[in-house]
Chain A
Amino acid sequence: MDQARLKSFVQSIDSHVQHAQGTRKNFVWAFIGANGTGKTVTSLQLARAWRKYNPRRRIIAFDPQGVLEASLLDKGCGDLVIPRGEKNWAKILTREIAPHQYQFTNYLLFIDDYKMLCTDDRTNEGFLDLLALRRFINCDIILSTHNPSLILERLSYYVTHYSIYFTSAAEGGFDKKTANYANCEKACRIVRQYVMQEGMGTYPRFPYALVTDRKKEIQLYNMDKKKVMDIIQRMS
């Protein structure tokens, strides 16, 4: 390798490192909670913020309740809706138009009620490809479900954020379902106890916990610190 090429290579690495410092990773954000616990409200907040910072990009949504369609979806941005019962949706989203060139790139995939879209116990064809290629095709994913046991094991390795709401998940429901399952289990217990004691909360402040795959902390939102500490003392 000649000096000029080596120099340009080093420069490109340097610039990449500099850029990478101010960047984020494409997220796969799972909202887990029972009906009416506020997961859709928070996921909508997230989608709105995403649209604010990515105004030209499209949102591809599976939206059986129509919550997103009414408030956020915009045909001008090329937003799409996945129809109910469409089994090839993931295959379509990972369609390759040329070698290493995909038809759909730079978008947010919003799946409200993941289990309604993935009815089988096996992942949809192309969904794992989509998860694996999400960084390449620059795709952020938001999915919500009622219970951690409804998340398929394979999918659990790709989820980066867990927003845990009140759920009637059985003990060990997060086992093998999340990469950071211990923290998820703890967060689930805390939220459940808190909601049973204090109630579901009021719109738009619903109590929930956020666990990420990177940080070892549990972030608690819309919860009173004193009451949480009391609950933890009682639990231990």
Chain B
Amino acid sequence: MEENLNNLPPNTTGPANLSSPSDNQNSIPKDAEMVDIDLKKKPPEEKTVLTFADFNVEEHVAQKTESEILNKQNAEMKGQVTQETKRTVAGEIQKLTEEEKKYTEQFTVEDFEDLAGGIIDAFDILMGWALWRFSLADPKKSSTSEYKVPEEKLKRLKTILAKILMKMNMKFPLWGTLAMVAVFTYLPAATKANAIRKENVKKREEEELAKKNKKNPKALGPGSNDGSELATKIIRNTKSGPVEVTVPVVQKEFIPEKKSVVINDPPPPPPPPPPVVRRTVTPAKIEVPRKNVPVGDEHEQMTPAINTAPPPPPPPVQQNTQPVVKRVPRTGVKSGRGGKHKA
């Protein structure tokens, strides 16, 4: 409409005359017919059609309503999703197929080459690693780079794969991209994880070694033999005969040796041998206060109840001893308790 108005000839002034020339002349078109309609005359009554059938309810509700379709169209135009157009698996598959088709159509030769390059690079890394593992080489001395293919050969492989992909017209672009993206996304993370893993393995090994040494100090070297690995063998006489029984020796706690050793120091003199006297003293008796102990021999101080000295004579027993309490003769006075006492 706007275009039409804009395309008006330049010499036109004022509003355009939209009426036809016949209107002005108030004339009747040539193909028109003049008829006379009688409103009072009733139209002939049509015959009624009767049909006999079973009531099929579903035919009245099975189809979608016009408004439903209109709403759907409006929602699609607005980019909205109505309640009715909820996501279904079938719908999503169809959508994906369409997207895939579009995606494939948009692919150029360079895109195919890039994709092929990515796939071959990933394959090369994977193969290098697999061959390196297969060789069982020392990881410290060798690396995966030894098993890499030369660049020229890789380039040839990439070209061939790109041609194959183009010929196949990318029947599985999503799979390809998924694999490629997954590999390249996880590659740095995997490298990092590998480095951390190595550290952790080393730590764990050290911890295990320390534990093992703690359990088995013999491993530290000579001089620390406490016989922990040994077990005493006892022969017990039973009814059926002598039986050999193995009793494990209780391990003692390992005390590591001091690192600093003074070479020139003479060894400390051995302590004087203890007296041959047998002691029957318990540790509790040692704590007896020394007030009554006579000062003199140290040995006597330590051992107050020893059989060395003769026992003191027993005190003389007095045969005829009189009681201290005098008996008071009973009077007629009643005692507080005890009821009635007769004198």
Contacts and interface: CB of A to CB of B under 8 A. Distances in A.
Given A15-B73, A106-B83, A135-B66, A221 B58 contact: no
B210 to A, nearest CB: 63
A49 B73 contact: no
A138 interface: yes
A230 B79 CA distance: 60
A16 B72 CA distance: 11
Contact of A22 (B48, B58, B63, B67): B63
The main secondary structure of chain B at its interface with chain A is mixed
A19 interface: yes
B67 A49 contact: no
A25 B66 CA distance: 6
Interface string A100-143: 00000010000000000000000000000000000111101000
Interface string A223-236: 10100100010000
B279 to A, nearest CB: 93
Interface string A205-232: 0000010000011111111010010001
A217 B57 CA distance: 17
A168 interface: no
Given A106-B84, A135-B66, A135-B67, A42 B55 contact: yes
A1 B53 contact: no
B54 interface: yes
**Interface size range of chain B in the complex:** 20 to 34
B64 A23 contact: yes
Interface in B21-73: 46, 48-55, 57-58, 60-71, 73
A177 to B, nearest CB: 19
B57 to A, nearest CB: 4
A65 B49 CA distance: 36
Nearest to B66: A23
Contacts of A16: 69-70, 73
A219 B57 contact: no
Contact of B46 (A27, A216, A222, A225): A216
Interface string B1-22: 1110000000000000000000
A46 interface: yes
Contacts of A26: 65-67
Contact of B55 (A48, A216, A217, A221): A221
Given A218-B50, A218-B51, A1 B66 contact: no
Interface of B: 1-3, 46, 48-55, 57-58, 60-71, 73, 77, 83-84, 86
A-B residue pairs, 8 tightest by C-beta:
A217-B49, A49-B57, A19-B69, A138-B67, A24-B63, A221-B55, A23-B66, A50-B61
6 contacts: A20-B69, A24-B66, A25-B66, A135-B66, A138-B67, A190-B50
Interface of A: 1, 12, 15-16, 19-20, 22-27, 42, 45-46, 48-50, 52-54, 56, 106, 135-138, 140, 161, 183, 186, 190, 210, 216-223, 225, 228, 232
Given A15-B73, A190-B50, 7 more contacts: A24-B61, A25-B65, A46-B57, A106-B84, A138-B68, A217-B49, A221-B54
